[in-house]
């Protein structure tokens, strides 16, 4: 579903300047959710974020990810350690704390509220455009549009 709604190219951003390529402002709960599954080093976090629908296959800015992790560590939501192995450089590994798990719970509630508000807003937009909520032909690209149209080849 995300691929049909995600902007297909820069021209769509030019048409609506407030659109964004990703939901990067939701990076903190995404990082918390990843770390709730397992501890990992920063590079893996960046890669896993890129694989989420939130980023639509586009790798997030690694500097932004590390800044977010540093702030989360300062807030007590994650702890980090340097892991060394027999070969290769040491890796900065991050682990969720109890405070981070509680923060993820608060984010989950907040995201649920966002979802409900967005659902209501989407209904208002569709109504304003004269589109029935049951209209299966409507996609984010417009009525009757080919969902794959304009997508970059993989």
Task: Tell me the per-residue pLDDT of 22-65, one tens digit each, with 9 for 90 and over.
Answer: 566 889 999 999 999 999 999 999 999 999 888 878 889 999 99
Q: Which CATH number fits domain 14-130: 1.10.10.10, 3.30.1370.160, 1.10.3720.10, 3.30.465.10?
A: 1.10.10.10
Domain boundaries, the chain: 14-130
More confident residue, 58 or 99: 99
- Tally of residues, the chain: 154
Q: Which two tokens stand for residue 35?
A: 């770390």
Q: What is the pTM of this model?
A: 0.73
Task: Quickly state the pLDDT bin for 133 (edges 50, 70, 90).
Answer: low
Q: Other C-beta atoms within 10 Å of 137: how many?
A: 10
């Amino acid at each position: 579903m995300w691929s049909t709604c995600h902007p297909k190219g820069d021209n769509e951003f030019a048409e609506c300047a407030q659109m964004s390529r990703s939901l990067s402002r939701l990076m903190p709960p995404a990082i918390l959710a990843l770390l709730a599954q397992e501890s990992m080093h920063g590079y893996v976090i960046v890669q896993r974020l890129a694989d989420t629908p939130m980023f639509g296959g586009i790798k997030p800015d690694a500097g932004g990810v590390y800044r977010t992790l540093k702030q989360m560590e300062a807030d007590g939501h994650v702890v980090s350690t340097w892991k060394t192995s027999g070969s290769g450089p040491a890796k900065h590994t991050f682990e969720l704390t109890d405070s981070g798990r509680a923060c993820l719970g608060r984010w989950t509630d907040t995201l649920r509220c966002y979802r409900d508000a967005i659902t209501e807003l989407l209904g208002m937009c569709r109504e304003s455009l004269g589109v029935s909520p049951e209209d299966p032909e409507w996609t984010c690209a417009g009525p009757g549009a080919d969902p794959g149209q304009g997508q970059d080849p993989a």
